[in-house]
Structure 1
Amino acid sequence: MKAPFKGFLGGLLLAAGCVTGTPPEFRGDPPMDFPEPDAVDAVVFLIGDAGDATPDNSPVLRRLAADVEYWAELLERDSAVTVAFLGDNVYPVGVRDRGHPEFAADSARLWSQIGVLAGPFARERGAAGFFLAGNHDWGNTIGEMGVVRLQNQAALLDSARADGIAVSMVPAPGDPGPWVNDVRSNVRLMAIDTHWFLQSPTAQARNEFFLSVYEAMVAAEDRHLIMMAHHPYQSAGPHGLLTPGDQGLGLMYLMRRSGALVQDLNSPIYDDFRRRLDGTFEQVGRPPLVFAAGHDHSLQVLDPDSEGGPETVLVSGAGSKLTAVADAPELRYAASRPGYMMLIFRSNEAVDLYVVAAPTADPTCPEGEGFDRESCMAETTEGISLVYAERLAPEASLPDTSAVSPRR
């Protein structure tokens, strides 16, 4: 069975500063089709960096909205569908104050994503939208000014929730987390604010944060843990790898290593974050099943690049912009195409990953007199399809009863 994808995906920009060269893409028929709804307990959609999308320029969100409505209708229970917006929900600098001349444009960008959960079945069944903070949502700044930008975004989400759309900012503005939510008895979502850490909080605050992460992971017990953030655990995109031709010259390398570009994963402050996070996983003795994030504007499925890292690393940041992906030995799948990811939690305890993407890198529908933009949008939306799938966790094994004597 194929779910009737109708997302909302156009108007995607190839960012200036992307890695040069042809990005890797692993083709072939997906190993799994979508399951029948009666075999599914819960669905979690993952989409990041959608803060440049609007209803007029982006088929990805239109397609995503239809998918949310499809699963909300057929799963027939409350809170079975979740959408995680993985940060950078409002470009370029988050939601400015209500009196600012750009407030209306900022609000429109956020409402474009809120609308994904505004369908009648999504409302009725309490499909939830969780918005994580990215560096742009912080206004690309630190301290109280950044927290105010997050509070402005949270206030808009609160108004949508008052109107019956189950959306919220997680963790709360200025709180690094972890925030946790169980989407079913054996699956726990955990959200953290990685930009908070990149602001160089005090040693005591960092220690308290990682202690909280440790305690939340221990409390998860044997649940599948899906850890979510804006900055990825690792990436083969521009924020993660220095590759030949990547923005050129040794100056860029020196700036990254000096910490001048703290948003890159190889900056000293992010190295410290990764080191502490890996140490926490080691203490717990069981890493997350998935670490999902955005930040780089592509679709990536990776093996961890360190022993004891998450079982699967996901980068799903192709919501409204694109950057290229360099080749890397850890990649299981990668594409520089607009799209999003789905985690499907089956009734038999299996966990499946699906990657959904547009057929081309730039499915923009241009404006102009006499041009049927809506027909273009509809056609582009229909072109979004399943491009990759794999099983992340096996189905539960049945107890062995072969040695048990039958009752007389």
Structure 2
Amino acid sequence: MLLYFLIIIPTLFAIFLLFSYWQEWKYRRKPYYKLADVGWRKTSLPPDAEKSYSLAMLGDIGAVATDGSDPVLKIFERWQQANAAACTAVFLGDNLYPVGLPPEGHRHRAMAENRLKTILQQLQHYKTQPIFLSGNHDWNKGRPDGYQYMLRQQAYITEALQNKDTYLPQNGCPGPVALQLADGLLLVVINTQWWVQRGEKPLGSNYSCPYSDIEEFYIALNNLLRRNRHQQIIVAAHHPLYSNALHGGKFTIKQHLFPLTAAHKRFLIPLPILGSLYPFYRKYFGASEDMSHKKYKRMRKRLLQIFNRYQNIIYVAGHDHNLQHFEKRGNHYLVSGSGSKTSFVKKGGNATFTLEQHGFVVLNYYQNREVWLEVHVAPVTATDNTTDLVVFRKKLESIVVPQQQPV
């Protein structure tokens, strides 16, 4: 019996770990498609002449290369060239790593400013209409002084672009902010960092926010969605409501065996069994930026309670460094967070599509009021001659009711 526990059980456990690692390695950086979407390449798009509007949704672009070699900015430039009119680029937060835009003299200031200038110069060159949201890194990784970091970035961007509506919601308020992009297409921006932020966060007239109680936000959001049931609604935020990745509680076998790699990728110190404590904590209790954390969980529950009343919503977020698509109760939930970093995403589950690769999602709106999703990815290696790839395309079905009230 003692031999059984000392040899056979550890051997079986090791075989299980090796098999699981092989499965993860086999599918990493390969697109996963739900069975019904495997034949997506055979779908027929509406004619280009009927395209009314295009949105590029770029998340977590804060580690962009500033020497002209950035792969995501290259495919973003091709999108800009192909959509010179009637287009908007939405930056879904974490615009600057690691801590947003620090004050002058800070050791990260020059790097952050160079990265921001690289993005802004490309926007100004093509006259693309930009909208920047803030993420946890833009709020100094959620630290108590993060509000000042966010205000500093807002001031820098709006001054450079000479337009206060390029950073939304303004002043770090929760939102919602509605923008009519085209006939039948409405963009709604919300600041999900507000719910999980530690320390100072704005609310009320002293901060130029429209209300002093967060319950009024939920009422305003529901009223906005109800008034616009006749439109296709795209909700842009930083934090996803569904995810098969780290912030959704999904971890690799490597992260269980080498948990110290969460602090630095070179800390390859094996801690089997004991190392699983960290992933289990993140999965069931969560850091402040995880779905399992009580603040995030409360926000997610309230937002889904509202969204589930409607079936014309496409919710797009970043935060997790990959590309994902979910269909839930008639609505669509997207993760587009691989603008400058990539990380593991689990295939299957409730997802219809997942991929760990640099890129972003594009939403194209047509005259017949259809919205089509395209996932654009960059070449995997510098020697790969493949240009911008579309690795997934899908018509996002929704139920739009006849107009009853004006916007």
TM-score (norm 2): 0.76
Q: How far off its partner does 1:98 sit?
A: 3.0
Structure with the greater relative contact order (CA < 8 A, sep ≥ 6): 1 or 2? 1
Cα deviations by residue, 1:126-162 (Å, 9 ceiling, x for unpaired): x31111111000111344x212111221122123213
Work out whether 1:71 is the aligned partner of 2:83. yes
| Structure 1 counterpart of 2:63 | 52
Letter in 1 for 2:277: G
Q: How far off its partner does 1:212 sit?
A: 2.2
Work out whether 1:88 is the aligned partner of 2:112. no
Of all paired residues, the percent bearing the same amino acid is 27
Cα deviations by residue, 1:70-103 (Å, 9 ceiling, x for unpaired): 211xx4xxxx100111110000000011343432
- Larger helix percent: 2
User: How many pairs are equivalent?
Assistant: 341
CA change 1:101–1:47 in 2 (3 A) is same
- Give 2:344's match in structure 1, choosing from 313, 320, 324: 324
**Alpha-carbon distance in structure 1 between the residues aligned to 2:41 and 2:115:** 32
Work out whether 1:250 is the aligned partner of 2:257. no
CA change 1:166–1:286 in 2 (3 A) is same
CA change 1:359–1:100 in 2 (3 A) is closer
CA change 1:243–1:90 in 2 (3 A) is closer
| Structure 1 counterpart of 2:322 | 298
CA change 1:115–1:262 in 2 (3 A) is same
Work out whether 1:197 is the aligned partner of 2:195. yes
| Structure 2 counterpart of 1:153 | 153
- Give 1:97's match in structure 2, choosing from 94, 103, 113: 103
- Give 1:237's match in structure 2, choosing from 234, 238, 245: 245
Contact kept in structure 2, 1:128 and 1:166, CA below 8 Å: no
| Structure 2 counterpart of 1:39 | 50
What is the 5 A alignment of 1:258-407? 258-259=285-286, 261-282=287-308, 285-304=309-328, 308=329, 311-360=331-380, 363=381, 365=382, 382-393=386-397
What is the 5 A alignment of 1:154-173? 154-162=154-162, 168-173=166-171
What is the 5 A alignment of 1:104-183? 104-119=110-125, 122-123=126-127, 127-143=128-144, 145-162=145-162, 168-183=166-181
Q: How far off its partner does 1:66 sit?
A: 2.4
**Alpha-carbon distance in structure 1 between the residues aligned to 2:398 and 2:305:** 27
**Alpha-carbon distance in structure 2 between the residues aligned to 1:133 and 1:192:** 10
| Structure 1 counterpart of 2:273 | none
Letter in 2 for 1:109: R
CA change 1:393–1:242 in 2 (3 A) is closer
Contact kept in structure 2, 1:63 and 1:384, CA below 8 Å: yes
TM-score (norm 1): 0.76
Secondary structure of the residue aligned to 1:254 is helix
Contact kept in structure 1, 2:55 and 2:364, CA below 8 Å: yes
**Alpha-carbon distance in structure 2 between the residues aligned to 1:190 and 1:218:** 13
Letter in 1 for 2:341: K
Give 5+ residue unaligned stretches, structure 2: 1-22, 204-211, 257-275, 401-407
Q: Superposition RMSD on alpha carbons, in Å?
A: 2.8
**Alpha-carbon distance in structure 1 between the residues aligned to 2:40 and 2:315:** 25
Contact kept in structure 2, 1:357 and 1:387, CA below 8 Å: yes
CA change 1:240–1:394 in 2 (3 A) is closer
